[in-house]
Amino acid sequence: TLYIHLDYTITGHQDGSVNIWSTSTGNIIHRLKAHQAKLTGLEVHYGMGLLITISLDKTIKVTRLSSLEEVYNIMTGDRMSNLRVLDRNSLAYCTKYSVKVWNLFQVDALVNRLFSEVHRIRRTGEGQLLVETDDGD
């Protein structure tokens, strides 16, 4: 899997790693162990500065390019291929028998809003998640 930008090139590999190369020097700037199995997709979300990868390990990993910190890791339970960023808020990928669309904005908002320890999560009848944290939210 390959992504080319003016300043760097990002490659994904069969061992689950991701290399970020300097376009000007040709040297590896960073090497990430993103997944436990072969990468099957790699996309960069330009607007949010995110690296999104999928793998045969059935996970979606989202990494912030500015800090190289993992933002989240989603275990889908599906073997995935054909990863695409659709717009600012969503991405799509294929499984053997379907195309799935994820809303990144909702996942990112949920992860970024929790700044204290989670004590309990429960689901309401309407499909919402209620989260109890240290600060009482």
Report in angstroms the alpha-carbon separations of 10 from 14, 23, 33: 14, 10, 13
Residue 34 CB neighbour total at 10 angstroms: 23
Q: Ramachandran region of residue 101, left (φ > 0), alpha (ψ -120 to 50) or beta?
A: beta
What would the pLDDT profile of 64-89 be if each residue is shown by its tens digit?
A: 988 898 988 889 888 998 898 888 88
Cβ neighbours of residue 125 under 8 Å, at least 6 residues apart? none
First to last CA, the chain: 41
Cβ neighbours of residue 45 under 8 Å, at least 6 residues apart? 51, 52, 85, 91, 104
Percent over 90 (pLDDT), the chain: 32
Q: Is the pLDDT of residue 92 over 90?
A: no
pLDDT at 113: 44
Q: Is the pLDDT of residue 6 over 60?
A: yes
Asked whether 124 and 131 are in contact (CB, 8 A), the reply is no
Percent over 70 (pLDDT), the chain: 72
What would the pLDDT profile of 21-57 be if each residue is shown by its tens digit?
A: 998 899 999 999 999 999 999 999 888 889 999 999 9
Q: pTM higher than 0.75 for the full model?
A: no
